[in-house]
Structure 1
Amino acid sequence: MAQTQAAAASTSATTRATAVVDAADPGPAPSGPGPREVRRRQRLRRLALHTTSLAVLVLGWWLVTRAGLVRPLYLPSPGAVWDALVRANTDHPISPGSERVVRGEQNYYLWEHLLASLQRIAVGVGGGVLLGVPLGLLMGTTWLGTLLEPYLNFLRSLPPLAYIGLLIVWFGIGDTSKIWLLFLAAFPPIAMSTISGVRGVREDQVNAVRSLGASRRQVLSAVVLPATLPEVLTGVRVATGFAWTTVVAAEIANGIPGIGGLAYLAGEQLQSALVIACIVVIGLAAIALDLGLKSLERVLVPWRGKA
């Protein structure tokens, strides 16, 4: 009887020890895709979705034009748009059978039109950054905000076509009036984003730096500017997009070379295929610009969105 109880006690102790070991060692972790693999699969799914939707859109467009449901003047076929795009980037006879050859459209290739517009936008948005950020910092930290913010809101609410005529009267039909228009489109979003960023700085951070003896300039450079930079970059993205949508208005008068000027001129000449080709190029360029600015934002403010 004693031997049976001892054996039972030994078995119970062994069982408890095994349970403790099993609890301490859960065994091999379940196999599965890691975070990087999950992100890669998500990107592939998004790419497949975008590609499929684009293919369906182009197919529907082709079917509508093929069936003749819409006149080519109003909706040219995808093939006609592609031919216009190729023609705008190559040398071709000025008319069928003519020996005179022209470069692209209006004696410029399409990429040259695009580059001219990008240069104007770079100068206009660059001027908006150079003036909008310092002014936004001043308006966010001094009494200038109370004084100037109504005028800034007034300027922000004006559509570009409201003052393009006045800018042409002041500066002529050259690039100066176009750059001024793009600057006036880009400046308000940048300034207002900077003001918003300054006013969003936590007061306890500023007080902590001041308690350590920091000067006003040190507070600005060590606390306010880093905290405001994400809002500033967001304002630059918004301003660039707004300036890009204004490029056609900026290039209405004497806008050649320029992608907006070419689109406007092609519309006046009823070259619908070329107009759509310009629209596609403008849209793709805008997407590329925004992606570039988002990449720059990730480099300059890697802490954004992280606790």
Structure 2
Amino acid sequence: MSVFVDITPPDAADTPAVAAARKNPWKGRLTRAALPVLSVLVFLAAWQIAAATGVWNQTFVPYPATVWRAFLEISSTHDGVRGYAGYLLWEHLYMTLRRVFAGVLIGVTVGVLLGLVMGSVSWVRSVLEPWLTFLRALPPLAYFFLLVIWLGIDEAPKITLLALAALPPAAVATTAAVVAAPVGLQEAARALGASRAEVIRDVVVPSALPETFTGIRLAVGMAYSSVVAAELFNGIPGVGGLVKDASNYNNTPVVLVGIFAIGFSGLVIDGLLRALERRAVPWRGKI
């Protein structure tokens, strides 16, 4: 007599919602795409209403249409004036992204390597962890002026500031991921004759990759949050310099254009990082 036991996990069974999604996959995708669009429309409507009430002066809360005109003006040559301060918006954005890329590349590379060492060697972690915490607690403006004194007002202090902002999140996330690597898998690899370097390469690094990618995304966010500070001096061309210069003249529409440019480009870069993570770490959330 044979007995059949259903060992299918509960979450693998088709619930009504899952069955409906399988029958009509496009409906779920359209819903996910419509929700962000709806949130943007609600935001624009609330903004329009807030500006139309007249409670705040137009200097503080301009109409969305005013900001759109400012976007068009600094994106083209208008009445003989080329963009803002002689540069088009895409040129400002290009310079900012170039600085962010250089700073993040340096900060993330050093941070990930530092995290691997700190996670693998306990005494190194004990020595360096307080310094990382100290650096992470500092706001960028606290040491930017010191970097300007040391390195001048050209590109060096800007890239250094962004690198210092990106380093701690990458290092801390990688350290935590390496420390949390499965001990059983490491011991099994050693029992099979793997060297320490091979254990790190074949067991620790793949295990740490998901959290490392999270740290990289946080590092990019920290660099973006520091970009206006990085471009306080000699920041034109650059979106941060544009925002700072426009704020000196209470040019709120241009300030908002700069803020939106930084935010939207950050969304695009984060989306690219998530796509890269899905390809590089396809097992995340599945084991």
Give the match for residue 55 of structure 1: 41
Tell me if the contact between 2:62 and 2:252 (Cα under 8 Å) persists in the aligned partners. yes
Name the SS of the counterpart of 1:163 in structure 2: helix
C-alpha separation in 1, matches of 2:102 and 2:70: 29
How many residues matched?
Answer: 269
Q: Residues 129-153 of structure 1, C-alpha deviation per residue, up to 9 Å, x if partnerless?
A: 2211111111111121111111111
C-alpha separation in 1, matches of 2:259 and 2:61: 13
C-alpha separation in 1, matches of 2:89 and 2:198: 48
Q: CA deviation at 1:278?
A: 1.1
Q: 1:203 is aligned with what amino acid?
A: V
Name the SS of the counterpart of 2:145 in structure 1: helix
Give the match for residue 26 of structure 1: none
Match of 1:103 among 82, 93, 96: 82
Tell me if the contact between 2:108 and 2:219 (Cα under 8 Å) persists in the aligned partners. no
C-alpha separation in 1, matches of 2:46 and 2:115: 48
Q: 1:186 is aligned with what amino acid?
A: A
Match of 2:258 among 278, 293, 299: 278
Give the match for residue 96 of structure 1: none
Q: CA deviation at 1:244?
A: 0.3
C-alpha separation in 1, matches of 2:22 and 2:141: 49
Q: 1:273 is aligned with what amino acid?
A: P
Q: 1:237 is aligned with what amino acid?
A: R
Are 1:120 and 2:106 an aligned pair?
A: no
- Residue segments in structure 1 that go unaligned for 5+ positions in a row: 1-29, 94-100
Structural mapping, 1:259-270, within 5 Å:
259-270=239-250
Structural mapping, 1:46-85, within 5 Å:
46-85=32-71
Q: 1:148 is aligned with what amino acid?
A: L
Tell me if the contact between 2:21 and 2:27 (Cα under 8 Å) persists in the aligned partners. no
C-alpha separation in 1, matches of 2:20 and 2:151: 61
Q: 2:117 is aligned with what amino acid?
A: L
Q: Percent identity?
A: 44
- Residue segments in structure 2 that go unaligned for 5+ positions in a row: 1-15
| 1:67–1:127 distance in 2 versus 1, CA, 3 Å | same
| 1:149–1:64 distance in 2 versus 1, CA, 3 Å | closer
Q: 2:249 is aligned with what amino acid?
A: Q
Q: CA deviation at 1:36?
A: 7.1
Q: 1:224 is aligned with what amino acid?
A: V
Give the match for residue 22 of structure 1: none
Q: CA deviation at 1:280?
A: 1.3
Name the SS of the counterpart of 1:181 in structure 2: helix
Name the SS of the counterpart of 1:243 in structure 2: helix
Match of 1:172 among 147, 152, 166: 152
The answer to which of 253-262 and 55-64 deviates more is: 55-64
Q: 2:36 is aligned with what amino acid?
A: H
Are 1:304 and 2:255 an aligned pair?
A: no
The answer to which of 69-78 and 42-51 deviates more is: 42-51
Q: CA deviation at 1:195?
A: 0.4
Q: CA deviation at 1:50?
A: 2.6
| 1:83–1:190 distance in 2 versus 1, CA, 3 Å | same
**After TM superposition, which residue ranges in structure 1, 4 or more long, deviate above 4 angstroms?**
none
C-alpha separation in 2, matches of 1:136 and 1:167: 25
Name the SS of the counterpart of 1:112 in structure 2: helix
Are 1:221 and 2:221 an aligned pair?
A: no
C-alpha separation in 2, matches of 1:235 and 1:202: 19
State the structure with more CA Rg.
Answer: 1
C-alpha separation in 1, matches of 2:169 and 2:66: 38
RMSD: 1.5
Structural mapping, 1:1-307, within 5 Å:
33=20, 35=22, 37-38=24-25, 40-93=26-79, 101-142=80-121, 143-307=123-287
C-alpha separation in 2, matches of 1:218 and 1:51: 48
Name the SS of the counterpart of 2:71 in structure 1: helix
| 1:183–1:35 distance in 2 versus 1, CA, 3 Å | same
C-alpha separation in 2, matches of 1:85 and 1:122: 24
Q: Residues 232-277 of structure 1, C-alpha deviation per residue, up to 9 Å, x if partnerless?
A: 1110000001100110011011100111110111011111111111
C-alpha separation in 2, matches of 1:124 and 1:250: 11
C-alpha separation in 1, matches of 2:43 and 2:184: 53
Q: CA deviation at 1:179?
A: 0.4
| 1:68–1:231 distance in 2 versus 1, CA, 3 Å | same
Q: CA deviation at 1:65?
A: 2.3
Name the SS of the counterpart of 2:81 in structure 1: strand
